[in-house]
Structure 1
Amino acid sequence: MASTVTTSYLLGNLHCPSCVALIKSLLQDEYGDKVLWVSPNVVTSVVTVEHEDASADFIRRMGKTLEDVGFDICAVDTTASVASDVDSLSQAEQGEGSRSMPHQSYGTFDIWSRLWRNRTPPVESHASKAAAHLENCESCKDAAAHDQDHLSEDRVNLVRNLSFASSMQKPSATAFEGVVVGDDEAQTPRLRATISVGGMTCAVCVNTITDEIQKHPWVSKVVVNLVSNSATVEFTDPNRTQDIIEAISDLGYDAVLDSVVDLNEQKQAVDSREVEVKVDGIFCPRCPDRISQTLRNLGKSRIEILSEASMQTPRIKIRYIPNVPTFTIRHILQAIEATDPSLRASIYHPPTLEERSRAIRAQHQRTLLYREILTIIMAIPSFVLGIVYMSLVPDTNHTKHYLMKPWVSGLSRLEIILFALATPVYFFAADVFHVRAVKELRTLWRGNSRTPLLERFYKFGSMNMLISLGTSIAYISSVAQMIAAAVAKEKKAPEGSFYFDSVVFLTLFLLAGRLIEGYSKSKTGSAVEALAKLRPSTAILIDQAAAKGDSTTKTVDVDQLEHGDLIRIPHGASPAADAVIMTGETIFDESSLTGESRPIKKAAGEQVFAGTINKGDAITARITGTSGKSMLDQIVEVVREGQTRRAPVEQIADLMTSYFVPVITLVAIITWVVWMILAFTGKVSDAELDNSGGKAAFAFQFAIAVFVVACPCGLALAAPTAIFVGGGIAAKHGILAKGGGEAFEKASKIDCVVFDKTGTLTMGGEPQITDSTIFPDGAIEGVDEQTLLSGLKAVEENSSHPIAKAIVGFCGEKKVASELGQVEEIPGKGMKASYQNKELDIAVGNEHLMRDLSASLSHHVTNLLQGWKAEAKSVALVAMKHRQDSSWRIAAALSISDPIRPETTAVIQALQARGTQVWMLSGDNVTTAKAVAQRVGIPSSNVLAEVLPSEKAAKITYLQATLHASRSRSIRRRRHDYTTRRAMVAMVGDGINDSPALTTADIGIAIGSGSDVAISSADFVLATSSLPAVLTLLDLSRTVFRRIKTNFGWAVIYNLLAVPIAAGCLYAVRTGSGAHVRLDPVWAALAMALSSISVVVSSLCLRLRVPWIGFRHTPIAAVEERA
């Protein structure tokens, strides 16, 4: 069979389904079996033909057939060798033939005109082509009916131009070379793998996985999270991803790779987008190649194929540059579907970390549930026979007598039945514990293990091993007693020497505890899922025609939106992505993101965010942040990142649990030995020993109880569950805990809060010029008011500072900005510039700048400034000079008012009432800063003024070194009783401008960061600009950390009390009935399950608003009333 050739014809007038049907039938009828496949694509205007005849004559004839029915061929490309032959011939004849036979070239995609070299090309008038095309094209018939024939010619020219533009691009893999910025060739690879891990039950599991992975030299950081069932690994070898997965799997845990991110990779430019497209309906091996060819026909300068589809993996990954409305992801999907009627394209989203973890958790829960059902089935007859008949039914009962009668080797029928019931439970229900315990030991003692030999004896095992040892001792010792009875051929074996019923009930309670614990843990980490659900799945898209007055709309998936698309947001709907309102006014409820329940008015030009709800009239908005780049997406990412940050207190739990299993194993062995000694020395009555089945069996009961009752799960869950719940509560109030558990712990110990003035204590936003004076010291020669204001406006338009915007507004829209030469910015002081057409220099800034320029302030100006400062206003001065002069003169003085937030005073007083020191940091002058401080209640001694942005971090360091912590941390403390320990300092300011100070402080709190929540360097990011959120944050941090200590304390106390009781420390104490006080292994299993469940429930109770049990948010109205 001859090899297949693919030829593509770019047509200028392919634009409707009737054209597609005509081309298919025409070529297939005309050429029969020579044409294997025809795919006209109305999106790309390309007809792709697969055929066997590779001759130039055949390609010409197919093209001539298309032209005969009125299609205009703009360009042709083919995989046949004739293309390279024609190119070679063209180059050889370029010097002479091209002059005699001029023709228009359309680049590498065009060999059509060259195929007719040395032949007479078909010559048809445009009128005859148009008539032929009109006869066959339904779309053009409709256009002709409306006098729109010229549209076809315009389309031909457009396609020709696009063809030429795309063909001029070099067909290389680096077509998108300019999209990625930065050069990482010299950098050491740094990758981060996120893995979903199933089967973890306690802190020992976490430590086991962490220690195993950290042994590899190419691993730099490992964070394993018990609550989210995930692990994050940073490593340097790109080829080691599978090794990490296998290392976790070898330990007996389920591991699924979620994502691998290159930490060195620079961000792509905003005009490019990477997506993975899933194609359903691929039915033959050639379909993937056809899909790829279709995408290449869209132009290599606009789209790049990163990975191609296959029949096994029907997904194709692409990178493209959208151009709304002419080229979007919608056009790409349509082009793929137009390749073949059976294909359906959609954007593919790999499962998120939460979805993978939820799937693994669900699978693990199903595994436990099936085993629990089996155990329940076996537990019912075990309970009836082993407890009811043994304890409650009288000995005269015929059935009991039948069951208790020795049957084989002194074994009663009851013991045989209990053995039959316990065996499937031990091997098929408790197997999850045995398998993991064996894998842990095998990994520990394998030949290539990196664990030192001595360490293997004092750091091993997990909760699975303790459970496996407990059930195994009970089952194996009972089987051993049966074998011994059979060998000895006793007439009647002692009943108390068998623990088959204990095996069943141990497994029953242990599995039930695991199920309840798993369900409870899943409820603690629902913050990310709750936020993700705020995002709508569809949007109402307005066509380009709709922007011109037509109200045509259609509903599309959110994934198909592009930056620049117009959408309609009706009443009650949420924006599909971040957008700017184009038309209409409405009210939005942003409480889901910011925690503020009050409605926010929105008008044209203002931004709306995905996840908020339109409570007013319908509006039209333009997309500014597509899926994955919206504020909601950033919030989800920040919350997810915060959940991976561990609190320092967890290190204590890690240290304790790393030695927990060896210690408990040692205690159990000692317990068994001690009770054996007591039994052999006559310290235990013979009656008690007989009831227990002998000395060894009697001692085994205590050892089993120790194995089963010990529980490190509570220690491991104490901190992460509380942090997860606390992070979810914080997100509901618009507080994003980027620093995770460490940030919560530090925030609970804050002694001093430092506020930035502008935009934090004050409204910020758009301050106003309230007072002004022009030429306060008299006129300046050659400078009039128009010259001054036009120059001032031109200078301040180069700055994004709020005061600069206020000055531009003061100069007025009618003032035409002067043309400036060199413009220089002096950080923290102001700006200087030179007029381009005049011999003048201008400077605008604060008093520091004026002093640096030696511009003298007259007594009149000084008094004026002092008066404004006393009114808590900021001041700006303008100085000018002739270029040949050296002295500057004051040309204008301005005062700027930035209103104080209405809630500021109440928040300051509330902090001071708790004993928290409050300081203010400002770059403004001392007089203004102290005036503002006096109004809000901050002592003048706690004001740091005239601080440049670069100096703020140094001031934070100074406060950390000089302030001392309060002795009491009570929320209602009022006495300023300080210790010698340094104070914990929190900085509250802008998330970007104050970045160094936020990083230097013990806790950085970025307030009002808006859509830039992800780029802040702060530990906490407040999505709202409301100051009471700072109080909520501090209250929540103290509540969360108190709950962590409560959980941790309960887990420690439980083990300190339960283990000694299980070991028999209270055996000497007798009850009223004369029985000894001891903990049966079955009840020990129940106690163990309840211990970990109680810790999880304790953390979940944080969501309740009950005093001293949950967290209660204090509204600002209550804060103001209390203040």
Structure 2
Amino acid sequence: MSTPDTPKKVPQFSALKLTPAPAHSDCCASETCAPQVESVLPADGQRYSWVINGMDCAACARKVENAVKQVQGVNHAQVLFATEKLLVDAASNVSAQVEAAVAKAGYTLRDANAPAEKTSPLRDNLPLITLIVMMAISWGLEQFNHPLGNLAFIATTLIGLWPVARQALRLMKSGSWFAIETLMSVAAIGALFIGATAEAAMVLLLFLIGERLEGWAASRARKGVSALMALKPETATQLINGERKTVPITALRPGDVIEVAAGGRLPADAALLTAAASFDESALTGESIPVDRAAGEKVPAGATSVDRQVQLTVLSEPGDSAIDRILKLIEEAEERRAPVERFIDRFSRIYTPAIMLVALLVAIIPPLLFSAPWEGWIYKGLTLLLIGCPCALVISTPAAITSGLAAAARRGALIKGGAALEQLAQVQQVAFDKTGTLTVGKPQVTGIYPLDIGEDALLALAAAVEQGSTHPLAQAIVREAQARGLNIPTASAQRALMGSGIEAQVEGQPVLICTADKFPAPQLTQQIHSLEQAGQTVIIVAENNVAKGIITLRDTLRNDAKAAVDALHQLGVNGVILTGDNPRAAAAIAGELGLEFRAGLLPADKVQAVTELNGQTPLAMVGDGINDAPAMKAATIGIAMGSGTDVALETADAALTHNHLTGLAQMISLARATRANIRQNIAIALGLKGIFLVTTLLGMTGLWLAVLADTGATVLVTANALRLLRRR
């Protein structure tokens, strides 16, 4: 298979910026198997990107890394299994050397933008089909003529061994000495030497079957990412001077006008030009109900126009749409490995050489020291060699973490790596910012209390004075009047009073709007005090220095805040509000939700509070503002709301892109399920090996069962990890 001459050169990865989302399977052993490095690649020199062909095993990315790291001039190499990418950081252009090194390891590369080459299922499975046919012929001959059947099994073994041994030699040359291909080759050749020809052939057949099963399971694990990549269409309809033109999405630039038919997907982030339309954003946000958008509102790439043909203005550069940023997050997440994953990786590097030494000692010590028969103990040693392959153990953690991250992304929760996922599983308490996190972030009119005029008249009078103001309280009053369809009078001579309020002339009369403490109104004192104790912001409307009534406003709770807190309590997770707002407002929100609170906090105070709480039990900090970023960093894990600032989103270890608080409990529940899944996988991997280790030493199991145990364990742990994708 040919490879491109020039790989894709990509820019250095910066902190991710999220926008609110209105043929050969090489399974592993020991040091050759680990899917990711522990930290993000440093940026020395230039960075190049390829897609790897034929990488079917999630635990074998290290083989490619080992091969590439030996190329002179390569500073760092990273394989991202979820997106099948190879990233290389080099001081100069070493693309030809990298491609040659990867080819020697048994893989091929293609440019990141090039389409995948299609191969026929028959061609992919030809080695397996050939071996099955030859095994059937050999078994048939064995029934009628033992010598001839024995020769047939030898021929079958040699034919099946050829590609396996060749790959083992390739991997040894590229620095991977203890690959499963090496163990399989040694076991098959050893079985031939002691006359176990049928078992030697069966071992190779089971190995090839296991490869196909692992490839299938690995492709299922990548399915979530592939589905995300498929959300973007390859072409777009661009409007140029009123004419429609079909262009590739890479040709679109900010400011271009595009058209999307009903049922079509957006090729880029865009602003709606059509008056109004509904969009299905479920693939990106997890929101099952179509979202109504008005002209000027942003719509993310990958969203589907539900009910009509729409025109939009492109906002994102090629490669920087909402989908692209999520894919980059998944790639960056793979670089942040969980502590348990790093431990198992280190353990496997010692484990496989140790098990090979044990197998050698089992094969030679009983015959040398106790005059035991050589043939039987060599056979047991070869069986231990195959049982010792740590493939299932090594894949147990990354398979579960990849599935957990994909399942979370499908639900609109982006978690930045296995380490963050593991920390999230430990969370026992959550600290919430108030404004914009538990509340909508926009004050709303909650009450109108007129004295000697009607309720609507009081509101219209206040709205007349506040029209044109950018103050959040003023905008809330105007919005409420417009929502009620009131006829708002025209005001003149508007003048802001420093620290007091605002005044204007309305229908020839002076009207003042100010906070309750700036206007003497003895008859309203008790009522004002009661409303302020309930967390309301109280303003007085006065005409000709006579109070006409009061209007109360408050930042209201999100619709799902109560349900989110209740869901956390069901998981045994406690909550506390940390806010810079005044104690009265914080107490009102906390009282509605049944949470404790600390109010009047500066950013430094929030950090201190988070550090104190984190010292008691692992804590997650949920926020959306710049002032929340330091506290999010100080917590066990920081979680940003999708509508938050870029600083908060970049600082956080996870983000709720759909902006729904109920996703918080789902995220923690999924993290705990992933942690349990990892433990189950490790138990399966080690448990099966332990059982077959004992039965082999007792002479109860042989070579073919050893391969079946290893392959079976690998498939079992992968299948168990895939259950996370179906978790509801």
TM-score, normalised to structure 1, is 0.52
Q: Which residue of 2 aligns with 1:509?
A: 206
Alignment match of 1:960 (pick from 614, 620, 623): 614
Contact 1:582 1:621 in 2 (8 A): yes
Alignment match of 1:729 (pick from 376, 400, 407): 407
Alignment match of 1:422 (pick from 146, 153, 157): 157
What is the CA deviation profile of residues 382-422 of structure 1, one whole-angstrom value per residue up to 9, with x for unaligned ones? Answer: 22233x34xxxxxxxxxx3xx55xxxxxxxx5544444443
Q: Judging changes above 3 Å, is the alpha-carbon distance between structure 1 residues 1018 and 772 closer, same or farther for their aligned structure 2 residues?
A: farther
Q: Which residue of 1 aligns with 2:220?
A: 523
Q: Which residue of 2 aligns with 1:1016?
A: 650
- Secondary structure of the residue that 1:988 maps to in structure 2? strand
2:535 paired with 1:872: yes
> Once the 2 structures are TM-superposed, how far is the Cα of residue 1035 of structure 1 from its aligned partner?
1.1
Contact 1:664 1:707 in 2 (8 A): yes
Pairing 1:25-424 to 2, within 5 Å after superposition: 189=44, 191-197=46-52, 223-225=78-80, 229-232=84-87, 235=89, 238-239=91-92, 241-242=94-95, 245=98, 249=102, 252-254=105-107, 256=109, 350-351=113-114, 369-386=125-142, 388-389=143-144, 400=145, 404=147, 413-424=148-159
Pairing 1:879-1028 to 2, within 5 Å after superposition: 895-938=552-595, 942-949=596-603, 951-961=605-615, 964=616, 983-990=617-624, 994-1009=628-643, 1016-1028=650-662
Distance in 1 (CA, whole Å) between partners of 2:44 and 2:274 is 48
Q: Judging changes above 3 Å, is the alpha-carbon distance between structure 1 residues 506 and 573 closer, same or farther for their aligned structure 2 residues?
A: same
Alignment match of 2:725 (pick from 1086, 1103, 1114): 1103
- Secondary structure of the residue that 2:651 maps to in structure 1? coil
What is the CA deviation profile of residues 444-466 of structure 1, one whole-angstrom value per residue up to 9, with x for unaligned ones? Answer: 8xxxxxxxxxxxxxxx5232322
Q: Judging changes above 3 Å, is the alpha-carbon distance between structure 1 residues 865 and 436 closer, same or farther for their aligned structure 2 residues?
A: farther
- Secondary structure of the residue that 1:583 maps to in structure 2? coil
Distance in 1 (CA, whole Å) between partners of 2:653 and 2:351 is 33
Pairing 1:484-499 to 2, within 5 Å after superposition: 497-499=194-196
Contact 2:624 2:645 in 1 (8 A): no
Distance in 1 (CA, whole Å) between partners of 2:717 and 2:611 is 39
Distance in 1 (CA, whole Å) between partners of 2:299 and 2:244 is 20
TM-score, normalised to structure 2, is 0.78
Distance in 1 (CA, whole Å) between partners of 2:514 and 2:74 is 51
Distance in 2 (CA, whole Å) between partners of 1:191 and 1:669 is 46
Pairing 1:563-712 to 2, within 5 Å after superposition: 563-677=254-368, 680=371, 695-712=373-390
Contact 1:588 1:599 in 2 (8 A): yes
Distance in 1 (CA, whole Å) between partners of 2:46 and 2:500 is 43
Unaligned runs of 5+ in 1: 1-186, 260-349, 390-399, 405-412, 445-459, 479-496, 546-551, 682-694, 774-785, 824-829, 834-843, 879-891, 965-982, 1068-1076, 1105-1110, 1113-1123
2:182 paired with 1:465: yes
2:155 paired with 1:533: no
Contact 1:584 1:618 in 2 (8 A): no
- Secondary structure of the residue that 1:535 maps to in structure 2? coil
Aligned-partner residue type, residue 1096 of structure 1: T
Aligned-partner residue type, residue 582 of structure 2: N
Q: Judging changes above 3 Å, is the alpha-carbon distance between structure 1 residues 513 and 768 closer, same or farther for their aligned structure 2 residues?
A: same
Aligned-partner residue type, residue 160 of structure 2: V
Contact 2:238 2:247 in 1 (8 A): yes
2:711 paired with 1:1089: yes
Distance in 2 (CA, whole Å) between partners of 1:378 and 1:247 is 34
Q: Which residue of 1 aligns with 2:197?
A: 500
2:368 paired with 1:746: no
Contact 1:711 1:1091 in 2 (8 A): no
Q: Which residue of 2 aligns with 1:763?
A: 440
- Secondary structure of the residue that 2:679 maps to in structure 1? helix
Q: Judging changes above 3 Å, is the alpha-carbon distance between structure 1 residues 374 and 749 closer, same or farther for their aligned structure 2 residues?
A: same
Aligned-partner residue type, residue 713 of structure 2: S
- Secondary structure of the residue that 1:898 maps to in structure 2? strand
Q: Judging changes above 3 Å, is the alpha-carbon distance between structure 1 residues 702 and 643 closer, same or farther for their aligned structure 2 residues?
A: same
Distance in 1 (CA, whole Å) between partners of 2:431 and 2:654 is 14
- Secondary structure of the residue that 1:436 maps to in structure 2? helix
Paired residues, what number? 655
- Secondary structure of the residue that 1:430 maps to in structure 2? helix
Distance in 2 (CA, whole Å) between partners of 1:954 and 1:646 is 28
Q: Judging changes above 3 Å, is the alpha-carbon distance between structure 1 residues 205 and 588 closer, same or farther for their aligned structure 2 residues?
A: closer
Distance in 1 (CA, whole Å) between partners of 2:123 and 2:632 is 47
Percent sequence identity is 27
- Secondary structure of the residue that 2:622 maps to in structure 1? strand
Contact 1:563 1:624 in 2 (8 A): yes
Q: Which residue of 1 aligns with 2:509?
A: none
Distance in 2 (CA, whole Å) between partners of 1:630 and 1:437 is 38
Contact 1:991 1:1017 in 2 (8 A): no
Distance in 2 (CA, whole Å) between partners of 1:570 and 1:1010 is 31
Q: Specify which structure has the bigger relative contact order, considering alpha-carbon pairs within 8 angstroms and separated by 6 or more residues.
A: 2
Aligned-partner residue type, residue 660 of structure 1: Y
Distance in 2 (CA, whole Å) between partners of 1:1050 and 1:188 is 39
Distance in 2 (CA, whole Å) between partners of 1:1085 and 1:666 is 19
Q: Which residue of 1 aligns with 2:33?
A: none
Aligned-partner residue type, residue 735 of structure 1: A
> Once the 2 structures are TM-superposed, how far is the Cα of residue 242 of structure 1 from its aligned partner?
4.6
> Once the 2 structures are TM-superposed, how far is the Cα of residue 911 of structure 1 from its aligned partner?
1.6
Unaligned runs of 5+ in 2: 1-41, 451-460, 482-487, 503-512, 542-548
Contact 1:872 1:929 in 2 (8 A): yes
Distance in 2 (CA, whole Å) between partners of 1:876 and 1:215 is 72
What is the CA deviation profile of residues 794-845 of structure 1, one whole-angstrom value per residue up to 9, with x for unaligned ones? Answer: 9x74x8xx5575478799996689899xx9xxxxxx9999xxxxxxxxxx99
Q: Which residue of 2 aligns with 1:41?
A: none
Q: Which residue of 2 aligns with 1:63?
A: none
Alignment match of 2:669 (pick from 1032, 1035, 1050): 1035
Aligned-partner residue type, residue 662 of structure 1: P
Aligned-partner residue type, residue 563 of structure 2: A
Distance in 2 (CA, whole Å) between partners of 1:584 and 1:856 is 44
> Once the 2 structures are TM-superposed, how far is the Cα of residue 1042 of structure 1 from its aligned partner?
0.9
2:61 paired with 1:439: no
Distance in 1 (CA, whole Å) between partners of 2:417 and 2:690 is 30
Rg: which structure is higher? Answer: 1
> Once the 2 structures are TM-superposed, how far is the Cα of residue 665 of structure 1 from its aligned partner?
1.1
- Secondary structure of the residue that 2:125 maps to in structure 1? helix
- Secondary structure of the residue that 1:1024 maps to in structure 2? coil
Aligned-partner residue type, residue 919 of structure 1: V
What is the CA deviation profile of residues 448-504 of structure 1, one whole-angstrom value per residue up to 9, with x for unaligned ones? Answer: xxxxxxxxxxxx5232322222122223xx3xxxxxxxxxxxxxxxxxx42333332
> Once the 2 structures are TM-superposed, how far is the Cα of residue 373 of structure 1 from its aligned partner?
3.2
Distance in 2 (CA, whole Å) between partners of 1:1028 and 1:713 is 38
> Once the 2 structures are TM-superposed, how far is the Cα of residue 555 of structure 1 from its aligned partner?
4.4
Contact 1:643 1:723 in 2 (8 A): no
> Once the 2 structures are TM-superposed, how far is the Cα of residue 925 of structure 1 from its aligned partner?
0.5
Point out the more displaced range, 629-638 or 223-232: 223-232
Aligned-partner residue type, residue 921 of structure 1: L
Aligned-partner residue type, residue 173 of structure 2: K
Q: Judging changes above 3 Å, is the alpha-carbon distance between structure 1 residues 899 and 856 closer, same or farther for their aligned structure 2 residues?
A: closer
